[in-house]
Structure 1
Amino acid sequence: MASKPGLLIDWPWQKLGNMKYVVLVPGLVHSVRSFVTKEERERDITVLFILPILLWRLLHSQLWISLARYQTSKSKHRIVDKGIEFEQVDRERNWDDQVILSGILTYVVVMYLPGSARMPLWKWNGLVLTILLHMGPVEFLYYWFHRALHHHFLYSRYHSHHHSSIVTEPITAVIHPFAELMVYFLLFAIPILSMLFTETASVGVMVGYVTYIDFMNYMGHCNFELVPKWVFNIFPFLKYLMYTPSFHSLHHTQFRTNYSLFMPIYDYIYGTMDKSTDKLYEDSLMGRKETPDVVHLIHPTTLQSFYHLPPAIASLASEPYSSRWYLSMLWPIPYGFMLFTSIIGSTITVERNIFDKLKLQTWAIPRFSFHYLSSSQKDTINSLIERAIFEAESEGVKVLSLGLLNQGEQFNGNGELYLHKHPNLKIRIVDGSSLAVAVVLHNIPEGTKQVLLRGNMSKVVCAIVKNLCERGIQVGVVCKDNFDKLKLRIPTELWINLLISTSYTQKVWLVGDGELSEKEQRRAPEGTHFIPCSQFPPKKVVRNKDCIYYTTPAMLIPKALQNVYSCENWLPRRVMSAWRVAGIVHALEGWDTHECGDIMLDTQKVWLASLSHGFLPMLDHPLI
């Protein structure tokens, strides 16, 4: 929102929320109806191109979002080396409004303007006219309008909304108040209307011009330099006709320079070219070598979770994961991602964070949860994890933490497999089990005398049970096999507090891996606390007994942890899983030991270390 909002800053369909695309329905219905009802010689196929063009523009935008987020997480060519936060993601959530507006205007033009009907696919004279009009009136008028927007009166009422993003993403390019964007549309309409009135219009040139505007807009705001220097060495005059991401990035940091749209020639003519433009371009192109200190290794869970990864759909990544029906129709895309990454045989960098002087990255193994449950995929996935460890080791990473099923006990022995194969690793491998145990123990309500254990056995579960038995808290186990396994893993003097229970009367349930059935949950007493002690949450089904469902073991992160703009799986904003936090704390404390296999650190020591670095318990935020 602008600092002093002016007139017409809100979009007309703003109150429709996610239903805003219905405003395109009248135009779509009218165009299809006119095509179907008219005789063959009068039909205008042009109207059928509008919807595919709008879909192409949405896809084009998404491709730039994914590319920019991936590059700024891993690439050394970042221009502004700062982070973005959830506030910016929320402010830029309506980036598709300009696509909707263009759709409405296109339907109106096709229906009512002469020359728009039955356009040919291509006309060279229309292309020449568009180039000349864009280089002249469009770029010239934009330059002076843009300078006017930086006058205090207009800036505070309109343009400050766009400049709220110092660190830009591609879609920052189209984040403007409604009135401001309408002026831009009028400017870009000059070549389009001129082609229509001179009967030189064609579908190809129209689509090409709109794609050019989108491409240059998104490139200028992508925050990494990608224009190679040889382009300007071979064609020196292009420096006046084509800007670079670093050119426009300076406008967002300096404000009073580099006003041009896509062609810097007008900044050269009127003396507003920033003096540091060339140096920033060369520095950004050269890049800076950066080695992460900590890497957290994850994987997508379900097919839909692919869209919640930070480089995917920005709005979804900024919210806790939840299933959405429309994503089910896009299942080929996650499979395509998996196939592509299988060919290149590597992990994907999906996020980059900064915590004081500590540099953090999140890497994703290109496999889904159901692959980890398949015995045929076991060797392949372990090879990918092993390769990620070697890559991190070669880059000088200090700590690699294993997230989700990358540390499965039946899969690789909580990471012990890699230590057995490579005992001389300098990088420290952390499974985070000690902090996960500490978080679960601190979630158990005061005064608890009995707990019920559900789910499969794991390293974390056994450590929790041992600690509870030491406190004199009775642990009821439903499954006889799990009861026998626990007796083998805790001292005999603690067996007195371990019992088989099928009454389901306990009001604190510890939920490990494995399905917690709806039938069992309905047998829980009123007010039961369901506390996960695994990396996956139980499915919530009881809604009428005031039951409390906790998140999986996690902690609130400190404000000093920056560039956090996505949610970790199903966790709320600015909350990290205990396994991920454990790797960060391990590096902060400089602990020179692995934590994997049967190795566990002192639970209380890890807990206090986490608190000392600003991580906070979620005692006031128990609900999923």
Structure 2
Amino acid sequence: MGAPLSAWPWENFGIFKYLLYGPFVAKVVHGMYYEQDYSDQSFIWSLHLLILCGLRGFLHVLWNSYSNMLFVTRNRRIFEQGVDFKQIDQEWDWDNFLILQAIIASMAYFIFPFLQNFPVWNVKGVIVALLLHVAISEPLYYWVHRKFHGHYLFTNYHSVHHSAPVPQSLTAGNATVLEHLILTLVIGIPIVGASLMGYGSASLIYGYVLVFDFLRCLGHCNVEVVPHQLFQTFPFMRYVLYTPTYHSLHHIHKDCNFCLFMPLFDAVGNTLNRKSWELHKSNSSGNGSRVPDFVFLAHIVDVTSSMHAQFCLRSFASLPFRTRFFLVPFWPIALISLLAMWLWSKTFLFSFYYLRGRLHQTWVVPRFGFQYFLPFAADGINKQIEQAILRADKIGVKVISLAALNKNESLNGGGKLFVDKHPNLRVRVVHGNTLTAAVILDEIPKDVEEVFLTGATSKLGRAIALYLCRKKVKVLMLTLSTDRFQRIQKEAPPEYQSYLVQVTKYQAAQHCKTWIVGKWITPREQNWAPRGTHFHQFVVPPILSFRRDCTYGDLAAMRLPQDVQGLGSCEYTMERGVVHACHAGGVVHSLEGWTHHEVGAIDVDRIDVVWEAALKHGLRPVSSGSTV
């Protein structure tokens, strides 16, 4: 059993904890629909509480979004590592304090009659609240905060807040009940004090609480936003306003920088870290960016999937993507933001993580999936991809891997277009399809004697067919083009060419239980497969799981090693820690330090080499043979 007031009473409620707002909602709805006037002060108070809780939550989310906009903040980040899944899960219920303070505020309404009738504005109230904050709230918080760093209080209460390796705005709300009760007292003293003196107002409550939250988020945002020139011009401001860098030192050392917002009290209490100003100047100068060793150049599938990013909702991004109803109202906002990003920058950072001390980043080409199939859009898409490659080459990236449609054969020949156009590139361009082929081939049973292959003349289809025929596996290659089939057949050693067989209809595979799908097939076409067939696939989008008597594989993917750090977002529909095989192929290329480009046709002789290298570095295939 934990210490008293260390666990939230509704911590097991899940999403149903929001029902605790029910009485306030009921009061507001009743007042709006069943009362002729709005003179009932309890109705007004409940309405204000709901609005204020909504604004406070939105403020924290906005700060979190800003902190994770790596394309804006990457040069001024304090802690370079990303927020991982463990921290996201620990801070999942960061907004518990809003429910607690709403309940306390509703109780205060009945305890203090002077809270029941406020004017909209009172300038004297602002002045009084500011004085009470500096004279009482700041020193009270400083004294209590230091006490919480004692052994018992820290172990049982405050260690929860310090468990976050990378502070963010949502970390500010992640604390125990006891801590937030004290913080509620700290917030309430200036408001209640000013109101008790007759200077209270609605604007005072809104203004003080929102500014208080704004400064709390600022201190935890992990991005230095306060310019060092401010302190150089006005040195006294160093003791009036803390900075994200200043507060980050408290999370690192834990024995310094205890203040609420004003370092003055650390100076008086002799707990001010002397490196604060020097480190703040360095962070605010924007020199903290690190060049990634590896870049994965992805693209957007649709508007809804564009919201699956940490700078939108990190909790949503930490789960495999699927369309959720709560995203529908934000669709227009996402579309406008996406268009703005497209106009402002050709590529932007999506996420990043560290593996073996090397920085891996995901850049995104702001193009929708359907645009890749429009002939007139090809030049524009290739231009954006080319600019991303040249930018990576300029800043010193070692490997850039092209995702999905960015390496489409008909678009740029699997990246060959850019390598031929820029023969002196230092960055290695990789399509990653060699590992994709290896993952698909690894899933095929070793004792299989015959497979049916659609998309047989594609880049991946060709490699799979040539590899299997060398293993004396009969490959039924579905294609209407005899010329393409013959070209591929001639690439096989003469003694294995007979294992490649051209077929033109699905009926030819009605006795074959191993289908490798590289071209989308309809449910009707699936019906030609015999009972018990397993559908391996490398087609985008995946085929429909139509047959109940068959099994379906997922897209080729690999699980990253256990020592990956800072990974806090799922790659599209993949599970946590799982990436598409082409992404993993780029990772292996980078870890191995290979100096060749991997573009154009897949080198069949390197399939085993790449596969063994992936396993050597701790990447593991993801099982995809689930029964529907």
TM-score norm. by structure 1 comes to: 0.91
Partner of 1:564: 567
Partner of 2:393: 393
Partner of 1:590: 593
- The AA in structure 2 aligned to 1:467 is Y
Distance 1:77 1:432 in 2: 32
- The AA in structure 2 aligned to 1:347 is T
1:308 alignment partner, SS class: coil
Counterpart check, 1:358 vs 2:358: yes
| Cα deviation 1:392-442 (Å, max 9, x = unaligned) | 111011111001211112222222232343333222111111111111100
**1:521 positional shift:** 5.2
Partner of 2:419: 419
**1:482 positional shift:** 6.8
After superposition, where does 1:1-80 map in structure 2 within 5 Å? Answer: 5-40=2-37, 42=39, 47-71=46-70, 75-80=74-79
Partner of 2:577: 574
Higher mean C-alpha displacement, 220-229 vs 497-506: 497-506
Partner of 2:330: 330
1:481 alignment partner, SS class: coil
Is 2:506–2:525's contact at 8 Å kept on the other side of the alignment?
no
- The AA in structure 2 aligned to 1:450 is E
**1:379 positional shift:** 2.8
- The AA in structure 1 aligned to 2:512 is Q
* Residue ranges of structure 2 left out of the alignment (5+ in a row): none
| Cα deviation 1:98-117 (Å, max 9, x = unaligned) | 23334444455567753445
Distance 1:376 1:99 in 2: 51
Partner of 1:531: 536
Counterpart check, 1:507 vs 2:504: no
- The AA in structure 2 aligned to 1:306 is S
Partner of 1:384: 384
- The AA in structure 2 aligned to 1:255 is K
Partner of 1:244: 243
Partner of 1:299: 299
1:561 alignment partner, SS class: coil
**1:456 positional shift:** 8.0
| Cα deviation 1:48-69 (Å, max 9, x = unaligned) | 4443433332322222222212
Distance 1:110 1:530 in 2: 64
Higher mean C-alpha displacement, 148-157 vs 44-53: 44-53
Distance 1:340 1:354 in 2: 29
Partner of 1:143: 142
Higher mean C-alpha displacement, 39-48 vs 525-534: 39-48
* Pair 360,207 (structure 1): closer, same or farther in 2 beyond 3 Å: same
Distance 1:486 1:102 in 2: 70
1:15 alignment partner, SS class: coil
Is 2:558–2:620's contact at 8 Å kept on the other side of the alignment?
yes
- The AA in structure 2 aligned to 1:603 is I
* Pair 54,160 (structure 1): closer, same or farther in 2 beyond 3 Å: same
After superposition, where does 1:596-611 map in structure 2 within 5 Å? Answer: 596-598=599-601, 600=603, 602-611=606-615
* Pair 191,377 (structure 1): closer, same or farther in 2 beyond 3 Å: farther
**1:164 positional shift:** 0.9
**1:217 positional shift:** 1.4
Distance 2:216 2:71 in 1: 17
* Residue ranges of structure 1 left out of the alignment (5+ in a row): none
**1:212 positional shift:** 1.4
- The AA in structure 1 aligned to 2:334 is P
* Pair 98,574 (structure 1): closer, same or farther in 2 beyond 3 Å: same
Is 2:148–2:157's contact at 8 Å kept on the other side of the alignment?
yes
Partner of 1:466: 466
Is 1:73–1:361's contact at 8 Å kept on the other side of the alignment?
no
* Pair 600,319 (structure 1): closer, same or farther in 2 beyond 3 Å: same
* Pair 360,30 (structure 1): closer, same or farther in 2 beyond 3 Å: same
**1:37 positional shift:** 3.1
Partner of 2:404: 404
Is 2:191–2:204's contact at 8 Å kept on the other side of the alignment?
no
**1:488 positional shift:** 4.1
Distance 2:559 2:371 in 1: 30
- The AA in structure 2 aligned to 1:155 is F
* Pair 199,394 (structure 1): closer, same or farther in 2 beyond 3 Å: same
After superposition, where does 1:108-187 map in structure 2 within 5 Å? Answer: 108-109=107-108, 113-117=112-116, 119-187=118-186
Is 1:372–1:405's contact at 8 Å kept on the other side of the alignment?
yes
* Pair 196,349 (structure 1): closer, same or farther in 2 beyond 3 Å: same
**1:344 positional shift:** 0.9
Partner of 2:310: 310
Higher mean C-alpha displacement, 447-456 vs 315-324: 447-456
Distance 1:322 1:417 in 2: 34
Is 2:85–2:569's contact at 8 Å kept on the other side of the alignment?
yes
Distance 1:103 1:370 in 2: 46
Q: Percent of aligned pairs with the same residue?
A: 34
Distance 1:383 1:90 in 2: 39
* Pair 460,267 (structure 1): closer, same or farther in 2 beyond 3 Å: same
* Pair 506,495 (structure 1): closer, same or farther in 2 beyond 3 Å: closer
Is 1:469–1:498's contact at 8 Å kept on the other side of the alignment?
no
**1:480 positional shift:** 4.8
* Pair 481,98 (structure 1): closer, same or farther in 2 beyond 3 Å: farther
* Pair 32,421 (structure 1): closer, same or farther in 2 beyond 3 Å: same
The count of aligned residue pairs is 617
Distance 1:124 1:325 in 2: 44
Distance 1:192 1:525 in 2: 74
Is 2:137–2:189's contact at 8 Å kept on the other side of the alignment?
yes
Distance 1:186 1:15 in 2: 26
**1:228 positional shift:** 0.5
Partner of 2:218: 219
**1:257 positional shift:** 1.2
Distance 2:565 2:192 in 1: 46
Distance 1:600 1:337 in 2: 41
- The AA in structure 2 aligned to 1:597 is G
TM-score norm. by structure 2 comes to: 0.90
Counterpart check, 1:275 vs 2:274: yes
1:262 alignment partner, SS class: coil
Distance 1:99 1:410 in 2: 53
- The AA in structure 2 aligned to 1:616 is R
* Pair 10,289 (structure 1): closer, same or farther in 2 beyond 3 Å: closer
Is 1:537–1:552's contact at 8 Å kept on the other side of the alignment?
yes
Is 1:143–1:260's contact at 8 Å kept on the other side of the alignment?
yes
Is 2:472–2:499's contact at 8 Å kept on the other side of the alignment?
no
**1:347 positional shift:** 0.9
| Cα deviation 1:275-302 (Å, max 9, x = unaligned) | 3222322332343352212111012223
| Cα deviation 1:224-276 (Å, max 9, x = unaligned) | 22210111122221111111111111111111111111111111111111232
Is 1:452–1:504's contact at 8 Å kept on the other side of the alignment?
no
* Pair 461,129 (structure 1): closer, same or farther in 2 beyond 3 Å: farther
Is 1:436–1:578's contact at 8 Å kept on the other side of the alignment?
yes
Counterpart check, 1:550 vs 2:547: no
* Pair 375,217 (structure 1): closer, same or farther in 2 beyond 3 Å: farther
Partner of 1:449: 449
Distance 1:199 1:590 in 2: 71
